[in-house]
Structure 1
């Protein structure tokens, strides 16, 4: 499956200058969903690039995008890169994330500005076949799972999947699963971040190594940078507003119905009154189908004004600093949890009442957390879940952080040996 010609034309007018010629050495392409605002996805290329040391990677996604204002990267669209570099040998590293289950429709919508996304969803959501056709035209590829790059984009590549996820892979459409499995079978090495994903791939005779999520490295690799962000701007203001400490709280827009907000507010207020901490609400994603400040404003209206602050910054280093300086994390974001793990802080993931299955958060926790640390809590039990998290053994949390760093270093060293 070669890149579509339409995508090559778009490359000539893209905002991000296209790397037309590969470097003299064998280039390394870091590819992933860091072409739109999502906390974890934006962290991955920073971590993998730091682990590569002396290499000068090219950052690529599905589209040209500039996320530098959020602490991310200037991103090149993968299809024009493939068209320009042809048969050259390259290293292609899928940097991480829940990419095995991300279909073309969801991928394309999440790359849109929010008002445009709402209009597109209203237009195509009732017509899934037309929605897929629109998405594939938009992305310039016929792929059903576009964040898994087919080998024929780069026939001479060393293809690596680094700690990717697919906890809900078994629930995906059969055609998407077949495409993903074919791409994985053509890869040189596969690392997945949870046992659930590994078991589903093993059932399809696709072996994979178990590798912690790259974000477990954020404290050891970027601790000084994060500490600087904690001393200035909004994070410093939050710390001053809550000298007794605060809980870093986040949830996605699907928690925004009145009954759910009532339950979250009641639980947070009860927790805050028993522990004395404040509540700092932050967004872990600004792309469509992520977090919504309007939901946070409605939640804040249900709480005493002295108890809660809404953080406006979407800079990933501010978000890391907010979590690192907190008393703990509670939210729906997996990477809110993982950054808290990296800093050996209390954490618990928030589970929606309507959730049909525990999801990637529970899958990751079941793989890497000690059994005494709770994975998820439903909104009606949020106060008890936070209280349990805050009572965790600090030394056990530190030990978990150390073990994850050691495991990721070991696994990435093995991956590095596979590069050309």
Structure 2
């Protein structure tokens, strides 16, 4: 059997929990099925090495296009997940700027110039080979192109309908396309692009990194704790800075009341450390406020992807704005309270598509106390364990589409 060349593509070049996870999970599945017969390489907008955080070393998408032109018949290109369909150059390059302010300034420039023009100019300025960062033109000579459990929440159909139409035209030539929520299915359907509905591929993390394996890690070593934080009885709270900037006092009071009513300690967990997320800054301030109030709490200072995962795996529930925080909690059988879902539409879409109402609640703003207490009143473990197992099988079946028996590669 000849060697199979897999190009795994995604935003593996920034510290964002979900993006770091995808190549680990897809790489595991490929190696498990093909062993030494598979050569796997990772590609992102920028060359980067996130191995110190448990991630991968990625080459640039430019280098992938160069390699494809040299060996066109050899490559299976896999877009591993994440909100890649709606990603443009403004978004992806903005996350590599040195500050949130510059990232927001670039986004403001897009509103001023229009999405099409801003995207086009940035692409030319940075000499990028493709129209969009993570959507490949099917005219590229590759063995196959697959999009697996991807998202599309970033499209603004009313403001920029042409963006969706341009992406849809490129997707028509893909060998397989699956999306992670019903909202994306319906959007693509309006553009005559059929897409399978499959859960986010991160859902299988609890199979590949089970609790017994995570328990061996030093995930508690970098916890900053106060007032007798209980590592065996805690809830995880997380929020990106943009959703918590003016809500610190209210959130601190709700977490204090949650402890008083449930005896659950609070673990504050930064998940997104890339520009545009900045969880750590706002959660550090929240930790100081809870410390003043005498609440047993901890702040996870480790940025390692498996330490983040373990923090969620051994919790008694999750409250936050992160899609992959929610998916992680669910994957390990815990209930989820999504907050700020009026703005974090991908989180709301996932909860509505895949989780039972008794196991998950979506809060439009940041008033989570009563909904979360009601959620855990019927128990802290999900009741939809059978549904979770079926959803994982859907993910594996979708991944199998890019393995040799499905691609026809020998």
Shift of 1:134: 5.7
Question: Does the C-alpha gap of structure 1 residues 149 and 227 become closer, same or farther in structure 2, counting only changes over 3 Å?
Answer: farther
Shift of 1:291: 2.6
Equivalent in 37, 43, 58 of residue 21 of structure 2: 43
Please tell me whether the aligned partners of residues 68 and 74 of structure 1 are also in contact (alpha carbons under 8 angstroms): yes
Shift of 1:380: 4.8
Shift of 1:286: 1.0
Secondary structure of the corresponding residue to residue 330 of structure 1: strand
> Size of the alignment, in residue pairs?
391
Aligned twin of 1:200: 187
Aligned twin of 1:331: 320
Q: What TM-score comes out, normalization by structure 2 length?
A: 0.87
Secondary structure of the corresponding residue to residue 73 of structure 2: coil
The whole-number CA distance in structure 2 between the counterparts of 1:275 and 1:323 is: 18
Secondary structure of the corresponding residue to residue 183 of structure 1: helix
Secondary structure of the corresponding residue to residue 326 of structure 1: coil
Shift of 1:35: 1.4
Aligned twin of 1:96: 81
Post-superposition Cα deviations, 1:176-216, rounded to whole Å, max 9, x if no partner, equal 21221112111111011111101111111111111111111
RMSD over aligned Cα atoms:
2.7
Shift of 1:249: 1.0
Question: Does the C-alpha gap of structure 1 residues 47 and 307 become closer, same or farther in structure 2, counting only changes over 3 Å?
Answer: same
Question: Does the C-alpha gap of structure 1 residues 231 and 64 become closer, same or farther in structure 2, counting only changes over 3 Å?
Answer: closer
Post-superposition Cα deviations, 1:256-307, rounded to whole Å, max 9, x if no partner, equal 333x222211211111110111111111111111133331233234322443
Note the 1:99-248 alignment, pairs <5 A: 99-114=84-99, 118-119=101-102, 121-122=104-105, 125-126=108-109, 128-129=112-113, 132=119, 135-137=122-124, 139-141=126-128, 143=130, 145-152=132-139, 154-169=140-155, 171=157, 173-223=160-210, 224-229=212-217, 232-234=220-222, 241-243=229-231, 245-248=233-236
Shift of 1:378: 3.9
1:282 aligns with 2:260: no
Note the 1:346-385 alignment, pairs <5 A: 346-351=335-340, 355=342, 359-385=345-371
The whole-number CA distance in structure 1 between the counterparts of 2:42 and 2:378 is: 38
The whole-number CA distance in structure 2 between the counterparts of 1:368 and 1:211 is: 10
The whole-number CA distance in structure 2 between the counterparts of 1:76 and 1:282 is: 29
Post-superposition Cα deviations, 1:13-67, rounded to whole Å, max 9, x if no partner, equal xxxxxxxxxxx73411000111111101110111111111222311111110111
The whole-number CA distance in structure 2 between the counterparts of 1:211 and 1:124 is: 30
Please tell me whether the aligned partners of residues 96 and 165 of structure 1 are also in contact (alpha carbons under 8 angstroms): yes
1:60 aligns with 2:46: no
The whole-number CA distance in structure 1 between the counterparts of 2:194 and 2:204 is: 25
Question: Does the C-alpha gap of structure 1 residues 124 and 332 become closer, same or farther in structure 2, counting only changes over 3 Å?
Answer: closer
Question: Does the C-alpha gap of structure 1 residues 235 and 293 become closer, same or farther in structure 2, counting only changes over 3 Å?
Answer: closer
Post-superposition Cα deviations, 1:152-193, rounded to whole Å, max 9, x if no partner, equal 4x3133000000011353536233212211121111110111
1:72 aligns with 2:60: no
Shift of 1:363: 0.8
Aligned twin of 1:313: 302
Structure 2 gap segments, 5+ residues each: none
The whole-number CA distance in structure 2 between the counterparts of 1:27 and 1:239 is: 52
Secondary structure of the corresponding residue to residue 27 of structure 1: strand
Please tell me whether the aligned partners of residues 145 and 174 of structure 2 are also in contact (alpha carbons under 8 angstroms): yes
Please tell me whether the aligned partners of residues 256 and 295 of structure 2 are also in contact (alpha carbons under 8 angstroms): no
Structure 1 gap segments, 5+ residues each: 1-23
Please tell me whether the aligned partners of residues 344 and 400 of structure 1 are also in contact (alpha carbons under 8 angstroms): no
The whole-number CA distance in structure 2 between the counterparts of 1:67 and 1:49 is: 15
Secondary structure of the corresponding residue to residue 162 of structure 1: strand
Equivalent in 287, 298, 301 of residue 300 of structure 1: 287
The whole-number CA distance in structure 2 between the counterparts of 1:231 and 1:294 is: 20
The whole-number CA distance in structure 1 between the counterparts of 2:322 and 2:107 is: 27
Aligned twin of 1:25: 3
Of residues 303-312 and 102-111 in structure 1, the stretch that sits farther from structure 2 once superposed is 303-312
Aligned twin of 1:81: 64
Question: Does the C-alpha gap of structure 1 residues 56 and 305 become closer, same or farther in structure 2, counting only changes over 3 Å?
Answer: farther
Q: What TM-score comes out, normalization by structure 1 length?
A: 0.85
Secondary structure of the corresponding residue to residue 165 of structure 2: helix
Of residues 128-137 and 292-301 in structure 1, the stretch that sits farther from structure 2 once superposed is 128-137
